[in-house]
Amino acid sequence: MASSYTTGFSLEKIGSGEQSGAWGDTTNFNWDIVDRLASYKAVAITTNADTATLTVREASPGSGTENLQDGMYRMIKFTGALDSNCTVTIAPNTAPAYFIINNATTDSGSSGPYSVILTQGSGANITVENGKSAVVYCDGAGSGAAVVDAIANLALATIKTSGTITSGGTVAVTGNVTATGTVEPAGDTAAADNAAFGYTSVLGAIITGQGSTNDVTLVNDADATVLGIATGTTNVDIVGDVTASTVNADGDTSAGDNATMGYTAAEGLILTGQGSTNDVTIKNDADADVITIPTGATGVVLAGALTLGGAVAGADQTLARVNLKDYGEVTSALGSAGGARTVDLEDGNNFTATVSASTVTWTFSNPTASDELCGFTLFLTNGGSQTVNWPGSVDWAGGTAPTLTASGLDILVFVTTDGGTIWHGMVSSADSK
């Protein structure tokens, strides 16, 4: 019986009674093949070659060392300088085999690095990117032979790595993923993603989902919802309290808002609400109302006392139903009076002055509007020592200006109800002591 050969790597099986005295050479040759099956080799691709061949065995094996091939090594490291991707054909197409392939080629130009493409027939191919490794098997199916990723659907109980895990496709995990380091995605999510975590340099970290109620839901350890983004919306629903050093609103509120804080450059901070009793309510820690804005109104209701640290500008508006206690009126000191002097009611309602020149001519300005009582008190020292000219709009009792004290204090009162068209003047106290 003549020798026969294994279909994989053409190990020679000596026929019964064959190779008398020469079987040792055949056996040693077989062991050379076995040795390669457990070994590694660096295979250089011709510089800038677009194609290459990795031979597993002779198409028609025979005895002799001519059957020892690079494709018998299980670990192949491709080297050489490339200027394009190189297609490596596994030959023959009838030889089944598996390989651990490492693409260690270099770039002969400046457009690389380049990939090694493994093929055996018209079936599927495997591309090994530069600097990467792959475990592949060739099915040896003849003209239609395919090269297949041997770990494309690898099932592992545990994956432990000290480096980076990079995937060019989808990683499906049925259990939990535990990482002692960081998980760094490197791509955008898509609208159809059920639940995806991504990253782009523009958007940063991206969380995308789709659900019948929420697209994204954050829950605590008790499985209670903390934050939700309702399906198809841009709104964020926070179940609990929000604690922040600052909250910077960036946009106007609208009439339909239940409770909203906004900001515009023109209006500044905006608080908007709607309720059956009040639109806005500010409470203290005892849950008692402090400030309220009744529903649909522009008025403000203060539940307690108002303590002012500065002035109140009323903008000529009516102050109704007010009880005044322990109050004062602003006094404006005009100093030495001579020449033209003005009593400006925007400065106060009480004025002091001392006549110091031969003539003083008074002007009254900025009274309140017509039909409002407006008045002021003038404390005038030495008014009778010189000539005092009063505005023509002043009506005195009896039609004559009073005679003032030459050396002393007179207290004069002026009132108007028509916006200063007519001032009614009177001496409250002459030569006051």
CA–CA separation, 196 and 251 (whole Å): 29
Report the alpha-carbon distance of residue 120 to residue 135 in Å, rounded: 15
What single string gives the DSSP state of each residue in 301-359?
EESS----SS----TT----S----S----EEEEEEEEEEEEEETTS-SEEEEEEEEEE
The mean pLDDT value for 74-97 works out to 95
Tokens of 408: 């002393």
**In a 10 Å sphere around its CB, with 0-12 CB exposed, 13-18 middle and 19+ buried, how is residue 309 labelled?**
exposed
Q: Is the pLDDT of residue 290 over 80?
A: yes
To 10 degrees, the CA torsion angle through 152, 154, 158, 162? -30
Quickly state the pLDDT bin for 23 (edges 50, 70, 90).
confident
Mean pLDDT score, 118-135: 96
User: What's the mean pLDDT in 219-240?
Assistant: 90
Is residue 42 over pLDDT 90? yes
Residue 385 — very low, low, confident or very high, per pLDDT cuts 50/70/90?
very high
* The pLDDT of residue 64: 45
- The domain ranges of the chain are 4-149, 275-302, 331-432
Mean pLDDT for 348-362 is: 95
Structure tokens at 97: 């085999």
Kindly state the average pLDDT of the residues 122-127. 97
- Please provide the distance, in angstroms rounded to a whole number, between the alpha carbons at the two ends of the chain: 152
For tokens 């592992």, the residue is 156
Looking at per-residue confidence, does 164 or 17 come out higher? 17
Statement: residue 1 has pLDDT above 70: no
Instruction: List, for residues 46-80, the tens digit of each pLDDT value.
Output: 999 999 999 998 777 664 445 788 999 999 999 99
Q: How many angstroms separate the CA atoms of 243 and 236, rounded?
A: 15
The string of pLDDT tens digits covering residues 100-112 is 999 999 999 878 8
User: 197-206, 241-250, 258-267, 319-328: which has the minimum mean pLDDT?
Assistant: 319-328
13 pLDDT above the threshold of 60 = yes
Q: Phi and psi for 143 in degrees, rounded to 5? A: -60, -30
Confidence of residue 170 (pLDDT cuts 50, 70, 90): low
Cβ-count burial of 249 within 10 angstroms (0-12 exposed, 13-18 middle, 19+ buried)?
A: middle
Rounded to an integer, what distance in angstroms lies between the CA atom of residue 279 and that of residue 259?
Answer: 9
Q: What is the mean pLDDT of the chain?
A: 89
The residue among 250 and 387 whose pLDDT is bigger is 387
Percent of the chain whose pLDDT exceeds 90: 55
| pLDDT (average), residues 112-120 | 96
Give the predicted TM-score (pTM) of the model. Answer: 0.49
Both structure tokens of 361: 């001519």
pLDDT at residue 168 greater than cutoff 70: no
Which of 109, 29, 114 shows the shortest CA–CA distance to 72? 29
214-219 and 204-209: which strand pairing? Answer: unpaired
pLDDT of the residue at 400: 94
Mean pLDDT, to the nearest integer, of 191-196?
Answer: 85
Cα–Cα distance measured from residue 23 to residue 13, given in angstroms and rounded to the nearest whole number: 10
Provide mean pLDDT across the span 127-138.
96
> How far lies 233's CA from each of 43, 120, 337, in Å?
57, 51, 72
Cα torsion angle, 277, 281, 284, 287, sign = positive
**DSSP state at residue 230:** E
219: part of which helix (H) or strand (E)? strand 214-219
> What mean pLDDT comes out for the span 137-155?
91
CA-to-CA dists, residue 70 to 6, 32, 43, 89, 234, angstroms = 17, 12, 8, 13, 60
